[in-house]
Each structure stands twice: as C-alpha cells, then as structure tokens.
Structure 1
Amino acid sequence: MQKFYSVADVAAELRRVADARASAAYSEEEAASTVIHEPMDELVAMPAEPEPEPELEPDHDHDPTPQDPAPEAEPDGAVNHPVSPNAAEVVDHEADGEDSSGDSSDRKAPSTEDDAVADGHDHTDQGSQGEHSLPESYPICSDHEECLVRPERIKIQKGFMAKESVKGHMVNVVKGLKIYEDVFTTSELMRVADFINEIRQAGRNGELSGETFIFFNKQIKGNKREIIQLGVPLFQPTTEESNCHIEAIPLVLQAVIDHLVLWRLIPESRKPNSVIINFFDEDEHSQPYFKPPHLDNPISTLLLSETTMAFGRSLVTDSNGNYKGPLTLSLKQGSLLVMRGNSADMARH
C-alpha cells in the first residue's frame, strides 16, 4: 500500500539529508586541510626532522618568506614611471681611474629639497630583458636605521662661480651646480662597481639585448669608450619598438636611484627612468658636451672613480686631453654631481 507524507515531513527529511551531507563535506575539508598544512610546516621548520605527530600549531610557520632571487627589473621595473621619458641617470665609471666625465649622461634628478620621497619601486617596463640574466644581489644601505640617518652625513658643495659672456651679458654659467660627497659607503660603491663590471662583461660577450651595449672604438683620442644604456634609450628615438631593444634598469641600480630619492637628493617627481654608464680607459677622456635639448633638468652623475671635470661654455684642451675652463674641479670617488639651471643649460662639461 502506498504511503503518503506531508509536505512538512518531506521538508524535514530533506533538511536532515542536507545537514548530513554538509557535515560530511566539512569533515573531508578539514582532513584535506590537515594534510596540506603539515608538509608546509615541515618545510618551513627546516632544522627539525619530520615529526610523526602532525599536531603542530597551524600558525607556527604560516608566513613563508620566499627567497626570491630578485625580480627582473623595470629598472626603475626597471624604470620609474613618474619621470618623463627623457629623464636619465648617469653613472660614469673609469676602468683604470683617470679622466672620466659624464658624457652623454643625463638623468632626471631635479631639485634638492622638494617633493616628498616615496621609497617604492615604480617599474615601468622600458625595455625587454635580454638573454643575459643580470645579477641582482647587491643591497644598498641594508641597515635601515643607518639608512635613515645617512643624509646627516652627506656633505654638499654649492655656490660655484664661473662668469662668461652670454648674449652680451656676464652670467654665472655654473649656477645650480651642486656636488654631494659621502652619499654611499666605500663597500656600497664597490658593490655597484662590481655589478657594473658584470654588466660590462655581459655586453662584451654579446649577452645584452639590442643597443644596450655600445662600443665606440674610434682612433681619435677622446672618442674611445664603452657605453651601457638602460631603461629609456637616449641615443635613438624613444619609440616603443626601440625600447624593446634596451635592457631594463636592474634592481641594483634602481636601489641606487631610490635611495637618492629617499635622501632627497633627487625629487620623486624627477625620478630617473634611464641610466647611462660610461667606461673610459685610463688615458681616455670624454668630449665636452651640452645637455641634449630633449632631456630635462637636472643632469646627475655618480662618479665611481676619481676624476677631474671642467665646466664652462668655452673649454680649452692640451694635447693630452686635459680640459680647462672657467671652473675645473677634482672630484673624488663616489661624488654625485647634480646640475640644474644654468649649469645644465649653459655650460659644457
């Protein structure tokens, strides 16, 4: 005989079945989560042997700190987007340490004490990473507390004077030039120099993409040098296609830029998105040049070796390539030159 149930009975039975299934699913989920959590805890708590009882507390090791080898750069990811595409950061490095000047090197590092500093890495893909994987293992200012007080140690020279005639008026053509010393420690400069030499070797081996590495091997004195450009290219049109043939700024050099911003030597609004590295042999020198018109002020140059630089509209040289001008400065390793105003627009260096 067929048995009939009321709607209330049917609903109650359905609820009972649903509860039973939910409870079963919950148990399975709990079991699964135990199985997944155990191995994770074992992995993080490396020194200990795998324990038979997987009853370790779940929070014990719940924040995995992956050892990331350093993301490939922008550079500044590798390049900093707040800056106009024409900004450039220049690092001049002499191979054996004699005359080196910021040839074709410009960077967008402007005023000194403006703009609050953001310590974030703004990486704008300005270039593709070539086949060569650039090393990213040299920290700048790893001691956070020391890093914060570093600006108190930095020395500044300013107020330079070199008057020349410009359109019939005597003008201080080096107005706006500032030189910072003791910006980086000796060990930090060594790390940067070692890193740059690795990139240089990679360029010589043909491992860098496109026009990242340029070798000028002209027989005329003062024209032989190696150049590495990173980020937004400065020696050809900044089209999307050309950007694809330049390596992005590596994180090591980006760290240098970020700390210059952090210490308010460069404003955040003028954060460089290009880096030019010049290598000169001991008996070589750069040709004096004016800032290319498409680059914004200031021009900033970090010297990785001692050098002498001449500034002015009219520069004279002897047969050995020693230039003299209205202002000639002997600069020590690690000096940071920041040129704005007349010093960037009116004077050669």
Structure 2
Amino acid sequence: MPFEIKWMIKRMVGWSILSADCIPNSCIINIYNERDCIPPHIDHHDFVRHFCKVSFMSKSNILFGKEIDVIDPGEFRGSVEIPLPVCSVLILKGNGTDLAKHCIPEVRHRRVFVTFRRMDNNKMPYRFQPDLELEGLRLYEL
C-alpha cells in the first residue's frame, strides 16, 4: 500500500478509530465527479466486519435500509440517512454491514471516499503477502 494510505491506517488504529484486531489490508478509493453515485449494495462477505469509510472534498449523505428504493438515476430512498461531512470517518459493522444495504446518492460536488477493509484470511488471493508494517500495529499507550 502507498505510504499515505498506511499513514492513515496507523493513525486510525493509534487513535482507536479502527481496532487493532481488524487492521485493514485493502482499500478502495472512490472518486466521484458531480452527479456520480453508488447504487444500493451490501459489501461482499469475503471482507471481515467492520470496515470504515473516510470522506474527503465535499459533504454528502449515505443511505441505509433493508430495502432502498430507486426513485430516479442517482436518487434513492432508504430508512436512514446519515450526513458525512468533509474528513468524517464512518465505521460500518453489525447489521449496518450484514443486513442493511447502503448507497451514496448523486453527489453535488466532486468527492472522494476511501474505504478500508480487511479480507478474511481464508479468502486471500493466491500469493498475497500481508504488509508486516501494518499487521503488527497496536493502540497508542496514553
């Protein structure tokens, strides 16, 4: 992983945002242009629960629901809508990752989401080499 991504992971583990027993070993960087969206989905179960999303550049909302209705392209209706301010971190776990779908409605301004996840050890790609610098992380002692 690039230095900047590892730096973010180390900080979030050190500050107890991410737990040391679920260190991410993958990340997805979603770059949205104006009017882009992500349709309703549940993340694949090859990834260990919990995972987190870090939000950059502009505010937007994320919707959750067991069923999410598609109203128009990029417009959705779900049970719960959570605002995501710039530089916010959202931890997804429990029913929020296993039962509820989530989506990002059409964004009004350019936006970036970085999603950190850990792939289940039994689902690792052939010859995957863990990053030893990240695997040994622990919480900062205060």
TM-score range, shorter chain: 0.5 to 0.7
1:318 corresponds in structure 2 to 71
Structure 1 counterpart of 2:39: 287
Alpha-carbon shift at residue 309 of structure 1 (Å) = 1.1
Q: Distance in 2 between matches of 1:293 and 1:275?
A: 15
Match of 1:275 in 2: 27
Q: Matched residues in 1 for 2:44 and 2:34: separation?
A: 26
1:207-246 correspondence runs (5 A): none
Query: Which protein, 1 or 2, shows the higher relative CO under an 8 Å CA cutoff with sep ≥ 6?
Result: 2
Q: CA deviation at 1:295?
A: 0.8
Structure-2 separation of matches of 1:328 and 1:302:
17
* 1:327 CA drift (Å): 0.2
Aligned residues: 101
Percent identity, aligned pairs only? 25
- The answer for the alignment partner of 1:101 in structure 2 is none
What's the TM-score, normalizing by structure 2? 0.67
User: Which runs of 5 or more residues in structure 2 are unaligned?
Assistant: 103-142
RMSD: 1.1
In structure 2, the partner of 1:338 is 91
Report deviation, 1:268: 1.2
> Which segments of 5 or more consecutive residues in structure 1 lack a partner in the other structure?
1-248
Task: Give 1:299 shift.
Answer: 2.0
In structure 2, distance between residues paired with 1:275 and 1:284: 20
Aligned equivalents of 2:5, 2:86: Cα separation in 1:
17
Displacement after TM superposition at 1:317 (Å): 2.4
1:102-128 Cα offsets, whole Å, 9 max, x none, are: xxxxxxxxxxxxxxxxxxxxxxxxxxx
Of the three residues 328, 337, 340, the one matched with 2:81 is 328
1 or 2, which has the higher strand percentage?
2
Give the 4+ runs in structure 1 shifted more than 3 A: none
SS in 2 for 1:264: coil
**Mapping of residues 1-349 of structure 1, within 5 Å:** 249-304=1-56, 305-349=58-102
Q: Secondary structure of 1:272's match?
A: coil
2-side partners of 1:267 and 1:255: how far apart? 15
Amino acid at match of 1:301: K
